[in-house]
Amino acid sequence: MDWKEVLRRRLATPHNAPNRKKSEQELKDEEMDLFTKYYSEWKGGRKNTNEFYKTIPRFYYRLPAEDEVLLQKLREESRAVFLQRKSRELLDNEELQNLWFLLDKHQTPPMIGEEAMINYENFLKVGEKAGPKCKQFFTAKVFAKLLHTDSYGRISIMQFFNYVMRKVWLHQTRIGLSLYDVAGQGYLRESDLENYILELIPTLPQLDGLEKSFYSFYVCTAVRKFFFFLDPLRTGQYLNLDKDHNGMLSKEELSRYGTATMTNVFLDRVFQECLTYDGEMDYKTYLDFVLALENRKEPAALQYIFKLLDIENKGYLNVFSLNYFFRAIQELMKIHGQDPVSFQDVKDEIFDMVKPKDPLKISLQDLINSNQGDTVTTILIDLNGFWTYENREALVANDNENSADLDDT
């Protein structure tokens, strides 16, 4: 008989029941006492269930408060020791050289050109001799991942070694980045990443000629690009656009960006939705703007532009919102002496390109799934982009004629 049955019978059988009727709370208390007693006996004769709870390992540790200096220091030291241990688990240069020597020694003939190969049997032999640090790389899964079309069932030694090198480098980078995680929460804040990149600049040969006065611009640009595509430049152009040299861009200054053919309606939306200071845009906001326009095929960029086009904040684009932006394109066409284009034709073409689930609404996901998001957004916000799209067939024909002329010469 298990403890549940004992408990059921005990509760069902009155023992010295008092004359008065027990209250509901008293019955619950009695039930809990009996449950505790029989559960303890069932779990091995424990008299106190607290003893049982003590066997559960601790899984939550409260973060020390700012005024708990000693605990803060202890936590920082613990993290440093942990990262050092992780770093020691990685292959060093000597161990990588030894791995290359073993792979070369166990290559499996015949060679393909100058490419040394190794079969699975020799692959496992190298794994046994390479040491415990290399064990994670010598698995059937890794071998199968690198196995392509070799008729002997072998993999390239160079490809495998490069795979190991990349893994080691990625882990080294991860550990290096973790050192800048000041909060110790497993992520980098914008200021943390800025510190990392700033200290990285002197180690990058490509930036040897970069003046220190431009370090802050480079750091800001790199950080914004990371954050844009992971949540997801032209510094000189920003300075050229800033005509009054106040470090900010007004709507009029931003209108000269690129070919200077973006519509005022779209620029109005940029300044309505994006963070500005007294109606002007700072460098960080400008970088988000540039990254979105220069990478319109990317989901992060389309999300940025879609928010600007969704003037009613409904989560989709309808005929009204498309017409709202295209009217500005039509007005620019008149100003530049171009023949007007019917909105009805453009609207039908956009819906044909996107093929949304709802025939009257275009969602962000519809735009992404269509792989036409860059074309659609260009048509709606930039006269030059619309003209290029509208005359694409003539431009292609012209390019073909020019190519033919060059061939003739």
Q: What is the 3-state secondary structure (H, E, C) of the chain?
A: CCHHHHHHHHHHCCCCCCCCCCCHHHHHHHHHHHHHHHHHHHCCCCCCHHHHHCCCCCCCCCCCCCCCHHHHHHHHHHHHHHHHHHHHCCCCHHHHHHHHHHHHHCCCCCCECCECEECHHHHHHHHHHCCHHHHHHCCHHHHHHHCCCCCCCCEEHHHHHHHHHHHHHHHHHHHHHHCCCCCCCCCCCHHHHHHHHHHHHHHCHHHCCCCHHHHHHHHHHHHHHHHHHHCCCCHHHHHHHCCCCCCCECHHHHCCCCCCCECHHHHHHHHHHCCCECCEECHHHHHHHHHHHHCCCCHHHHHHHHHHHCCCCCCEECHHHHHHHHHHHHHHHHHCCCCCCCHHHHHHHHHHHHCCCCCCCEEHHHHHHHCCHHHHHHHHHEHHHHHHHHCHHHHHHHHHHHHHHHHHC
What average pLDDT does the structure give for the chain? 84
Residue 213, amino acid: S
> Residue 396: pLDDT band by 50, 70, 90 thresholds?
low
Q: pLDDT at residue 54 above 80? A: no
Rounded mean pLDDT of 117-146?
A: 94
Q: How many CA atoms lie within 13 A of 327 on its CB side?
A: 6
Lowest mean pLDDT among 120-129, 132-141, 189-198, 349-358: 189-198
Distance of CA 145 to the CA centre of its chain: 24
From the number of C-beta atoms within 10 Å of its C-beta (0-12, 13-18, 19+), residue 81 rates as exposed
Rounded mean pLDDT of 368-373?
A: 94
Torsion of CA 395, 396, 399, 403, to 10 degrees: -170
Q: pLDDT at residue 109 above 70? A: yes
> Residue 236: pLDDT band by 50, 70, 90 thresholds?
low
Highest mean pLDDT among 112-116, 234-238, 404-408: 112-116
* Closest by Cα among 292, 288, 225, 277 to 247: 277
Q: How many CA atoms lie within 13 A of 97 on its CB side?
A: 3
What distance in Å separates the CA atoms of residue 244 and residue 12, rounded to the nearest whole number?
A: 89
Rounded mean pLDDT of 85-114?
A: 92
The CATH code of domain 207-394 reads: 1.10.238.10
Lowest mean pLDDT among 95-99, 258-262, 295-299, 351-355: 258-262
Rounded mean pLDDT of 231-240?
A: 60
Chain position carrying tokens 């904040």: 313
Strands 117-118, 155-156: pairing is antiparallel
> Residue 41: pLDDT band by 50, 70, 90 thresholds?
low
What was the pLDDT predicted at 235? 47
Q: Identical fold at 91-178 and 207-394?
A: yes
**Structural domain boundaries in the chain:** 3-53, 91-178, 207-394
What was the pLDDT predicted at 137? 95
Higher pLDDT, 53 or 96: 96
* Closest by Cα among 147, 143, 149, 156 to 111: 156
Higher pLDDT, 210 or 17: 210
Higher pLDDT, 305 or 54: 305
Q: pLDDT at residue 350 above 90? A: yes
> Residue 400: pLDDT band by 50, 70, 90 thresholds?
low
Percent of the chain with pLDDT strictly greater than 90: 46
> Residue 79: pLDDT band by 50, 70, 90 thresholds?
confident
Asked whether 103 and 126 are in contact (CB, 8 A), the reply is yes
Q: What's the Rg (C-alpha) of the chain?
A: 34
Residue 241, amino acid: L
What was the pLDDT predicted at 258? 84
What was the pLDDT predicted at 234? 46
What was the pLDDT predicted at 343? 93
What was the pLDDT predicted at 407? 53
Rounded mean pLDDT of 16-22?
A: 56
What was the pLDDT predicted at 23? 77
What was the pLDDT predicted at 293? 92
Q: What are phi and psi of 240, to 5 degrees?
A: -70, -35
Could you tell me which CATH class the domain 91-178 is placed in? mainly alpha
Rounded mean pLDDT of 321-334?
A: 93
Q: pLDDT at residue 187 above 70? A: yes
> Residue 170: pLDDT band by 50, 70, 90 thresholds?
very high
pTM: 0.51
